[in-house]
Amino acid sequence: MNDEKDPKIVLGAWAWGNDGTFGHGLAADELRPVFDAAMNTGLNLWDTAYVYGMGESERMLAGFLKYLPREYYRVSDKLTPQCMDASSKTAVADMYEMQLHTMGIDHFDVYWVHNTMDAPRWIGELAAFFEGREDAPVIGVSNHNLAEVKQADAILREHGLRLGAVQNHFSLINRSSEDSGILDWCHQNDVEFWSYMVLEQGALSGKYDTSHPMPEGSARAQKYNPVLDRLETLNAELAKVAEAHGVGLAQIPVAWAIAKGTRPIVGVTKESHVTDAANASSVALSADEMRELEKVADSLGINAVRAWEKKMY
């Protein structure tokens, strides 16, 4: 990817899967204005996965995309090992074609191996599946450490392909992909780094604090509500930077992620999320602002690694 047609920001449809992670369900009539606002703003790169509601996120997004010419948008989807029939001799083809059918399209623009379960088997089978195909997407890996990223690239090259992207959890309170050298490796090898959870599922948006916790019963509430007192310190610093730039607080973590040389994925469930995402790409943070934000974030000692992740070093 990485051409002039690609927006700096990816819009994430994880919450559209209504899988309990975010604590509420979303209907198509609620999300339609969000989708329309995004497309009207030029944010046309969408990230989804079958595992987000076992196809629900894909179906919801597909319901909006079907009215548009294919060249108007780009789709990033994922091969999730836990959702595959590993006993099938055509497991990769089975999942890929099922997802294409669900989405109602003939190709994905980016396709990821979602995690390292049974690694490196699936990257090898994916490489064999796409070898020599003109419709091969950009191939990426998600939730991989540096050794696994390098291994995936080597396997792909054996099949005449290359690793095009890495997608890991990356935010002010989780810079493990930077500390472990993954980010530098990507920059040195012309591999895009997509940062997911830059807003930590809303924890760095300014919307939640000790007086206004996340919805009880949601997976994110279990992770972030116990540390909201510490997050208030970081959000206060983010608010100061946002005020200095005349923008909303939620735009600053996204602008930070862009300044780090990544393409952030921003989950959108409201039109205001789209506006914030669109505006964030024009916020230019100074080196001093970047350092101070990172200093404050580091001082909090928050472990933001989630259950599906691994430590990157």
Residue stretches of the chain with pLDDT short of 50: none
Q: What is the pLDDT of residue 5?
A: 62
Instruction: Using a pLDDT cut of 70, give the percent of the chain over it.
Output: 96
The residue ranges of DSSP E strands in the chain, in sequence order, are 10-12, 45-47, 74-79, 110-113, 138-142, 165-169, 192-196, 263-267
Q: What is the pLDDT of residue 309?
A: 82
Q: What is the pLDDT of residue 308?
A: 77
CB atoms within 10 A of CB 5: 11
Q: Are strands 138-142 and 110-113 parallel, antiparallel or unpaired?
A: parallel
Residue 295: which residues within 8 A CB-CB, separation 6 or more? none
Planar angle of CA 42, 55, 82, nearest 5 degrees: 115
Distance from C-alpha of 136 to C-alpha of 81, rounded to nearest angstrom = 19
Distance from C-alpha of 163 to C-alpha of 192, rounded to nearest angstrom = 9
Rg (CA), the chain: 19
